Amino acid sequence: MSEGRLAGKVALITGGARGQGAVEGRLFAAEGATVVLTDVLDEEGETAAGGIAGATYQHLDVSSESEWERVVDDVMERHGRLDVLVNNAGIDLIKRLDQTTLEEFQRLVAVNQTGTFLGMRTVARALQAAGLPGSIINISSVAGLEGVKGHGAYSGTKYAVTGLTRSAAKEWGRHGIRVNSVHPGVIETPMTADMRAVADPAARAKLERNIPLGRIGQSDDIANMVLFLASDESSYCTGQSFVVDGGVHP
């Protein structure tokens, strides 16, 4: 058996083709986990999994109930267990609420909110049926703790993730299933690459002056928190919101 904080565990990570999900996958594998990456970006997902020893990739549209059932059933059949779910898949929309179309709003709800709900429910059902404990980690945002100007639809879905996390933790604790949320601040990923605060040097410098730790976050910062919540080191943590933002929201 591999050594590491996740030795012998099986982890399913959504949005694993790139960014935070891919980094989490590499870290989990380095800590002994068997990693299953999922995404809708199949070429990038296959490449990401190919660079991680023992990892596999599966296509998963997180807004699809049937695809969730297919993927979780396959993981349970292949490995006989599923210890960790990281609901990492998410999309953003930089737009004022009064300019946001219903189609745009519903698209964010489908991925960020419905996708998280379906993942939590599908995995929790599988774990309960098998009599297994587990750790579910939902990637929310600091926008899931306070409203963010220009990201109203995104904030709404991330608030929903926070609420789902806290409710599920109370319902599933008796089954040994822990549910926590991680709330990143501004993190440098492909999803934020086009944001002016990240891409424009002057805007970035201004932003970093307002971050107590003086820098924009990196995917490794989130992955390390997720690793803690996936491991037995956090065995008495559930229903909690873990903020990783360089000290902006103490």
Q: So which residues are the catalytic ones? A: 154
Interatomic CA distance for residues 14 and 21, integer angstroms: 7
Pair 84, 31: CB distance under 8 Å: no
β pairing state of 84-87 and 134-139: parallel
Phi/psi for 246 (5° steps) reads 75, 10
Interatomic CA distance for residues 60 and 66, integer angstroms: 10
